Amino acid sequence: MKTAQELYEGIDLAGIGPTGLITYMRTDSLRVSDEARANAYSYISGKYGEKYIPPAPKKYKTKANSQDAHEAIRPSRPDLTPDAIKDKGLSTDQFKLYKLIWERFIASQMADCLMDTVSVDIDAAGCGFRATGNSVKFDGFTVLYEEAKDDSGEKSSMLPPIAKNDVLNVQSLDGTQHFTQPPPRYTEATLVKAFEENGIGRPSTYAPTITTILQRSYVEREGKQLKPTTLGEVTTELMKEHFDKIVDVKFTAGMENNLDSVEAGKTSWVKTLDDFYKDFSAALTEAETAMDGKRVKIPDEATDQICELCGKPMVIKIGRFGKFLACSGFPDCKNTKRLVQESGGTCPLCGGKLLIKKTKKGKKYFGCEKNPECPFMTWDTPTDQLCPTCGSTLFNKGGKKGKLLCHKPDCGYERDMANED
């Protein structure tokens, strides 16, 4: 949202000047103005040809009670392509977000992709099999944008020419076993999608909601996924036990509808608040009575570290400022330590351990355990590979298609990862 705000307020582009690159972003409207559509058509016809313009303007259905005072989020000037302004003063995050918005908008105004789909039923020894394949008849908007591009190594889904009553020869017969997998944990993106599908919140509240549950340690990031903490699980069970009607998806969505009704002047805000507060006040009083004098125990996370003062195992606890290590022998032993997470590899400056650290904004980086005596830090990920020149830890910069490089002063070794298994 911060990056979107910067694009909306304007970027000082080299050779162009201060330019607002996107329209107002705190909206869930899908409405597009005639002027914006005409500008998009002008770019599409000039870049791809008239056949990529749809026969009739596309209109997308906006969900009920959406904030429609503003247009859909779109580039303010469709002629300013991402590549044209990439090196004119945009930060990496600003470029990525602008590219996403620009491509999404232009693709939404292009002609549909047309596919030829073929389905074949095969009878073999009394058993029925079905093969389905497709081919692209007209690429349409996919010439510019695809939500999910196939991996380069994925097998083609095209079928060879087949006619009715053809006899097919068996080339191989492979048996595979599949097990039901649990649904994946939410990521920030899928959680926002769940908000939208259930009618919870508004675009302006999505980011603050996710920030709040992270800051209060109800969830934590595990890669891109949001993993509930023990504090989050205990808090959730407590809320479900005493405020089951309030922490219900239908209640939250219903409250959104009630507030929209108040905004539209169809319902009295006094009555809406009164109806809510009567039930809430009763539930709160009941919960206070039931929990009077009780303390909620948050389970500790066991570790393999041993307390150097008393020899008992150390456990992970959650305090006001996040997680920390404490002796399981508390209150007899009050030893506590800062919780650190080793990343593997060694510091190229002093040979110390490398620790996973985070900035105030939650961005991960890697630093030496001997900081501040040793100033080494990097955004590049340490690997288990060693430099063939000096023997120091190699770091990955840029992911699978990036580079392996050595940070040892005066070494300079690096190699591309694109051709590695």
Which amino acids are annotated catalytic? 24
In this structure, what token pair is assigned to residue 236? 């959730």
Return the DSSP state at 367: E
Cα–Cα distance, 234 to 240 (Å, whole number): 10
Instruction: Tally Cβ neighbours within 10 Å of residue 84.
Output: 11
Question: Order of strands, edge to edge, in the sheet holding 341-346?
Answer: 341-346, 353-358, 364-368, 377-378
- The candidate with the shortest Cα–Cα distance to 350, out of 298, 262, 409, 274, is 409
Residue with tokens 């009607």, as numbered in its chain: 245
Strand segments (E) across 78-185: 114-124, 127-138
Beta pairing class for 353-358 and 341-346 = antiparallel
Burial label for 103, CB within 10 Å (0-12, 13-18, 19+), is: middle
Give first-to-last CA distance, the chain, whole Å: 37
Q: What are phi and psi of 366, to 5 degrees?
A: -125, 130
Cα–Cα distance, 385 to 396 (Å, whole number): 10
Cα–Cα distance, 309 to 289 (Å, whole number): 41
Burial label for 74, CB within 10 Å (0-12, 13-18, 19+), is: buried
CA–centroid distance for 199 within its chain: 19
Which residues does 196 contact at the CB level (< 8 Å), separation at least 6? Answer: 28
Cα–Cα distance, 68 to 88 (Å, whole number): 33
Query: Quick check: helix, strand or coil at residue 148?
Result: coil
Cα–Cα distance, 266 to 35 (Å, whole number): 34
Which residues does 339 contact at the CB level (< 8 Å), separation at least 6? Answer: 316, 322, 323, 324, 325
Query: Quick check: helix, strand or coil at residue 79?
Result: coil
